[in-house]
Amino acid sequence: MDQASDSGSTGGRGAAPAAAPAVELGRDGVTLAQVVGVARSGVSVYLGVKARAAMQASAALVDGFVAGDEPVYGVNTGFGSLADKAIPAHRTAELQVALVRSHATGMGDPIEADVVRAMLLLRARSLALAYSGVRPELVDRQTALLNAGITPVVYEHGSLGASGDLAPLSHCALALIGEGEVWTREGERQPTTQAFADAGLQPVVLRAKEGLALINGTDGILGMLCLALHDLNALMRIADVTAAMTVEGLLGTDRAFAADLQALRPQVGQAISARNLTRLLADSAIVASHREGDTRVQDAYSLRCTPQVHGAALDTVAYARTIAERELRAAIDNPMILPDGRVESCGNFHGAPLAMVCDFLAIAASEVSAIAERRTDRMLDVARSQGLPPFLSPDAGVNSGMMIAHYTQVAIALENQRLAVPASVQSMPTSAMQEDHVSNGWAAARKLRRSVDNLRRVLAVELVCAAAALDLRGPLSPSPATAAAVHALRARVAGPTVDRWLSPDLRAAERLLADGIVLDAVEAAIGPMEVL
């Protein structure tokens, strides 16, 4: 069986190079770029010397709790609403194994490999901060799986994002103890025992507190947020590229993007998008052709307000990145084992901060999708396209041109509107009312991931249509930047002719965006575009 598909996540989307330096897990957390490198490019990971020593000291504190008489949640008590059940010392290790097995309750389709790898890394990152009372051997096994390309099989449904991503992380923990199933580096699904034997790995034997520490984190939500932020960093620039192409194709003006006009409303993202559009349209013979003598007073909102909409999305991405970067330095567990020997229960595992920004990003992705669809629609409507043929077909009537490509784009944009409905406002109590408010952050992150993929598809349709419009404006030439985008597309997708099977063209355009080929071509022509 092949490994679960991840909609093009691995090997694309501007993935970090495999030669990137190994990631050291220590007391300072990790960076967003390191998460992406490990998740998608197989960058290796190891536990630092200082972190190892701190973990050993923290684990020694737990040994003392096991030997003592005081109840310590998750060490010598049950879990959730069973926290008042005392566990004798000789059964504390058994308790941890039972916890992992009972909490590995995932259902639905397996989730993507890059998400699982991000989860493994981020849980190891939190444990390496040495506030969880676990031995370094746990992190050693997590990094061994990552470095060997062994990925636990984790299912889509199970997490409420409250006591962390309990069910998904339990499937990861199940692999660490040699149970469950995994994907190999080659994408084969195997029992963990077989994969471990082939890789020369031994399962870890859990001690007190360790099962709980392996599953009590927001690592799935955070991993998906990090991957989405990485992808949006490219997609927001691509959105400016396709918008500029459409402005040219519709004989729009760049005057609305002027810096002095934008400065009247000091929104940072808006100014960045406007500067990008100005650079993208510089030296365009198409734009210059109607700069004087054009009787139109102003362009439609979908062209003129592009910086305002794209800029709002950029501001949202910047805010979400701030939240993610804080979480990448956070110790997430319960209870926390403090260096002075205190054991304190807390709510750091609650996913609310991440859930809300995942929802916010889904709203941003939906709005960028929506304005791109409106721009595309104008190019296809002979009544509004400023002289372009109906549906961009040189022989409309017998040929339908891009008519139904637009239907596909609308269907995807409408799905993004549904996905923009917040998940973080939904909550149901669990665990006999002990866990009576949940973040639903896993669901927010899952739909964000789909929203990002959908945005790429919406922009791919605009790219194909706008490139056809620019071809049809010949002999007038587009700007150097947009010409580079057309040239990159034409290596895989032909220009406007008689009707042909369009699905391969649209999917090829999506792949060109995912692999960074179009964006690289544009930035090679005009230099790096701005992001927040």
Q: What are phi and psi of 336, to 5 degrees?
A: -95, 135
Amino acid at 234: A
User: Among 28, 55, 57, 24, which Cα is nearest to 38's?
Assistant: 24
Amino acid at 161: G
Q: What is the dihedral of CA 216, 33, 267, 297, to 10 degrees?
A: -120
209 in the Ramachandran plot: left (φ > 0), alpha (ψ -120 to 50) or beta?
A: left
Please give the Cα distance from 315 to 337 (Å, whole number): 37
Distances (CA, A) of 16 to 30, 33, 492: 15, 8, 24
- Residues 6 or more apart whose CB falls under 8 angstroms from that of 48 comprise 24, 25, 26, 128
**Half-sphere exposure at residue 430, Cβ-oriented, CA atoms within 13 angstroms:** 14
For the chain, how far is it from start to end, CA to CA, in angstroms? Answer: 41
Q: Cis peptide before 422, with omega less than 30 degrees from 0? A: no
Rounded to the nearest 10 degrees, the angle between the axes of helix 32-41 and helix 219-249 is: 90
Alpha-helical (H) ranges within 17-176 are 32-41, 49-67, 92-103, 113-127, 136-148, 166-176
Please give the Cα distance from 428 to 156 (Å, whole number): 18
> 71 with 86: CB under 8 angstroms?
yes
> 80 with 431: CB under 8 angstroms?
yes
Rg of the chain taking only CA atoms, in angstroms: 26
List of E strands, 316-363: 336-337, 343-344
The answer to whether residue 73 is catalytic is yes
Catalytic pick from 46, 73, 131, 155? 73
Residue 203: count other Cβ atoms within 10 Å of its Cβ: 15
Residues marked as catalytic: 73
